[in-house]
Structure 1
Amino acid sequence: MSTTKKMAGAVLATALGAAALAGCGNGDEKDGAAPSGKPESKTVTLVSHDSFNATPAVLKEFEKQTGYTVKVLKSGDAGAALNQEILTKGSPRGDVFFGVDNTLLSRALDNGIFIPYEAKGLAEVPEQYQLDKAEHRVTPIDSGDICVNYDKKYFADRKLAPPVTLDDLVKPEYKNLLVTENASTSSPGLGFLLATVGKYGEDGWKDYWTKLKANGVEVVDGWEQAYNERFSGSAGGKKAKGDRPLVVSYASSPPVEVLYGEPQPAVAPTGVSTGTCFRQTEFAGLLQGAKNEAGGKALLDFLISTKFQEDMPLQMFVNPVVKDAKLPEIFTRHGVVIEKPETVTPDAIAKNREQWVGAWTSLVLK
């Protein structure tokens, strides 16, 4: 996920930002002659949320295979980036948009910003991720799970078992321990709200949040503040002296803590409450009005190639969706597999998202 994403790589946000800039390609236009005699751009522009990243060598491989250079245009978080593409529908800022997830998918599709295209290699992506299979307006690229993370040391020092399920979080022993993100401003915050909708249904999620509020849940604007400032278990949290040992983050956050630990720990200092998760899938699509439609199609093909899929985990801290793509060892050793995440259908999200967020805001923030 998205936001994407936002993912726990922001433990060292500065380092990842530098890596992302290095992975953007040179952005220069290289013009050649198309069969029609008209100039054909040899640059394909990918519009994305801020968390898109790829190894420079992998993007060079795409350039070598196709002759197209990738230019990446980052546009804030996933919601802000999508809003800009809706506003510029028909005259997009690029050729391909990456980073719309299943919580916002219906909004993108209803606004008609994508050209249908069935990417080569899509047969290797399980149907569970192909949420627009009938029309192929978007291509699934990655998945991740929004979950509560916990500070192992905090619970070990107090000989208190960490919570496992959503039900656990409202128990007295976990009072004043959880920090989450605002569901109206944050992708993981919205995902956590949807986890409770998926678990307790339309008739029960409000009662659950009433109990969670009474149990002292803290709400902040976004993931960066929650994880790196308020959470006691992160590298950023230690510097900021966060005092909340429970935080809404991602199932991929513990491997990131190992990867960027100084010194690198043998065991992840954080864990995942596996019964609190919501499954997030991110998509990419060819933008309506793309100046380089052929290059955009080639890029979508590449995004679900094994080469790119196996590069993603350590670049964006998400899981590949292609069947045979392998996870890096640090993921398999320190990560967790969420067997039964909560889900909500895109149609249900489309129909109820604004209502749910509005009700959540009135219930939790007022």
Structure 2
Amino acid sequence: MTGGRPASANRHEEDFVSGKVRRVAIATATSALAVSVVASCSLVGGGSDRGPDDPTTRRVVLVTHDSFAYDESVVAEFEESSGIELDIRQSGDAGELTNTLVLSRDNPIGDVVFGVDSTFASRAINEGVFEPYRSPEAAAGADRYRVAGAEDSENADVLSAVDVGDVCLNVDVEWFADPANGPVEAPTGFDDLVDPRYRDLTVVPDPATSSPGLAFQLATIEHYGEDGWADYWAELRDNGVQVTGGWTEAYTQEFSGSSGAGPRPIVVSYASSPAAEIGEDGEPRTTALLDTCYRQVEYAGVLAGAAEPDGAREVIDFLLSEPFQSQVAEYMYVYPVREDVVLPESWESAAPLPADSATLPADQVDANRADWVEEWRTIVLG
């Protein structure tokens, strides 16, 4: 990986048609067994001796987004031990995936889904897409990330958290340390970005076409409130903020701290991104401003009307199990929800999980997302 995310994750560029997406990555770690299958295709994990004709084999359809990536050997071991043949079908980004699930709720396209995130969770729940299931594995950490606003309701166990990703401002530490760039210290939070000292230094993805861009907008709404966020963005506009269509362009082309060596040293990316920017001295060249983070959680759920509901529940147990959780950082560049999983060594210092990321209730986001984005576009893009 050479930027904020590995290509094996392909999650963080959330360019999307219907609303929002998950994440994308950069290009070097494609060899890390990334799985990117066309939506209409299926990928059946290998390694099982049973085969599709074995009467003890159960075929379970897992519907997910295009950025789902995993260690094939871990999936093969699960198939072998469970007697489940996983048919993995990828269906666009997280926004498209949610729309597809809603439109097909009366004739579900699979048995279990992974990839509906905290921005879209409320919509899918309210449309009756899922049936409740609480995995026995949830107590190991997933319970900490129940859908915001649903913790104490009948919907508390409709979705199970599988991974966490935090969208934050990232700063090119080396750029600010270079005397050639003037005597200006690196920013520490939201307010600095509207200071004239940081004019023309920030690049952000468009929240209408990028999930990280949307998450950053939500972070400013949470921070400044519904009465103050619009004024903040007007000040950012006046201070020369650059807007790109997606995360990939912002991070890999415009951000000075990435392999693209662009002109701007402040970018919207992820708390995990500095782990990808370790220099030859073993130190990260960039840092995430953890006080600016907005938490995104990806969920799995059993689809209502599933042909294989028992198998769907077993798949969720697997997604929350230690073998699967232990590889999500490497393959999808997100944080596992299990508390007993150790992050890669480079993450411990360069990309620790933020302790207190901002969130908004899922139903509040669902009710206001379209209006907020439209208002943002009017303010920033005119």
TM more than 0.5: yes
Superposition deviation, residue 335 in structure 1: 1.1
Moved more, 140-149 or 63-72: 63-72
Residue 278 of structure 1 and its aligned partner are, at CA, apart by 0.6
Match of 2:330 in 1: 314
Distance 1:16 1:145, change over 3 A: farther
Change (3 A) 1:76 1:122: same
The answer on 1:196 being equivalent to 2:220 is yes
Q: Secondary structure at the match of 1:203?
A: coil
Q: Deviations over 1:134-154 (max 9, x none)?
A: 332111111121001122221
Unpaired runs of 5+ residues, structure 2, are 14-21
Amino acid at match of 1:335: A
Match of 1:248 in 2: 268
Decide whether the 8 Å contact of 1:272 with 1:336 is kept in 2: no
2:370 to 347, 354, 361: 354
Q: 2:119 aligns with which of 103, 120, 130?
A: 103
Aligned partner of 1:183: which letter?
P
Offset of residue 215 of structure 1: 0.8
User: 2:159 — aligned with what?
Assistant: 138
Equivalent position of 1:38 in the other structure: none
Shift of 1:323: 2.1
Bigger drift between 43-52 and 187-196 goes to 43-52
Whole-angstrom distance in 2 between the partners of 1:26 and 1:313: 20
Map Cα deviations across residues 133-185 of structure 1 (whole Å, 9 max, x no partner).
Answer: 53321111111210011222211113532111111111111111111111112
Residue 20 (1) aligns with residue 35 (2): yes
Deviations 1:258-288 (A, max 9, x none): 4xx8xx6622222112221111111111122
Residue 116 (structure 1) aligns with: 132
| Alpha carbons of structure 1 residues 244 and 128: separation in structure 2 relative to 1, 3 Å | same
The number of residue pairs the alignment matches comes to 352
Give the structure-1-normalised TM-score.
0.88
Amino acid at match of 1:228: T
C-alpha deviation, 1:24, in angstroms = 5.0
CA deviations on 1:24-72 (whole Å, 9 max, x unpaired) are 54489714447xxxxxx63322221222111111112211221113232
Q: What letter corresponds to residue 257 of structure 1 in structure 2? A: E
| Preserved CA contact (<8 Å) 1:8 1:317 | no
Deviation of 1:88 after TM superposition, in Å, equals: 1.9
Q: Which residue identity is paired with 1:186? A: S
* C-alpha RMSD over aligned residues: 2.6
Change (3 A) 1:4 1:107: farther
Normalised TM-score (structure 2) = 0.85
**3-state DSSP of counterpart to 1:20:** coil
Counterpart among 329, 338, 351 of residue 345 in structure 2: 329
State whether residues 178 and 244 of structure 1, in contact with CA within 8 Å, keep that contact through their aligned partners in structure 2: yes
Identity across the alignment (%)? 40
| Matching residue of 2:190 | 166
Given the alignment of the two structures, is residue 183 of structure 1 paired with residue 207 of structure 2, yes or no? yes
Distance 2:348 2:210 in 1: 28
Shift in alpha-carbon separation, 1:256–1:69, aligned structure 2, 3 A? farther
- Residue type of the partner of 1:154? W
Deviation at 1:204, TM superposition (A): 0.6
Partner Cα separation in structure 2 for residue 217 and residue 350 of structure 1: 27
SS at match of 1:278: strand
| CA-CA distance at 1:301 after TM superposition | 0.5
Relative distance call for 1:139 and 1:350 in structure 2 (3 A) is same
Contact 2:206 2:246 in 1 (8 A): yes
More displaced 10-residue stretch of structure 1: 121-130 or 138-147: 121-130
Cα contact 2:24–2:247 (8 A) shared by 1: no
Q: What secondary structure is seen at the aligned counterpart in 1 of 2:35?
A: helix
The structure-2 alpha-carbon separation of the partners of 1:95 and 1:129, relative to structure 1 and needing over 3 Å to count, comes to: same
1:37-56 equivalent positions in 2, closer than 5 A: 42-56=58-72
Unpaired stretches in structure 1, ≥5 consecutive residues: 35-40
Residue in 1 aligned with 2:16? none
Distance 2:88 2:276 in 1: 24
Cα distance between partner residues in 2 of 1:14 and 1:306: 23
Residues 4 and 92 from structure 1, CA distance in 2 versus in 1: closer, same or farther, beyond 3 angstroms? Answer: farther
Q: Which has the higher helix share?
A: 1
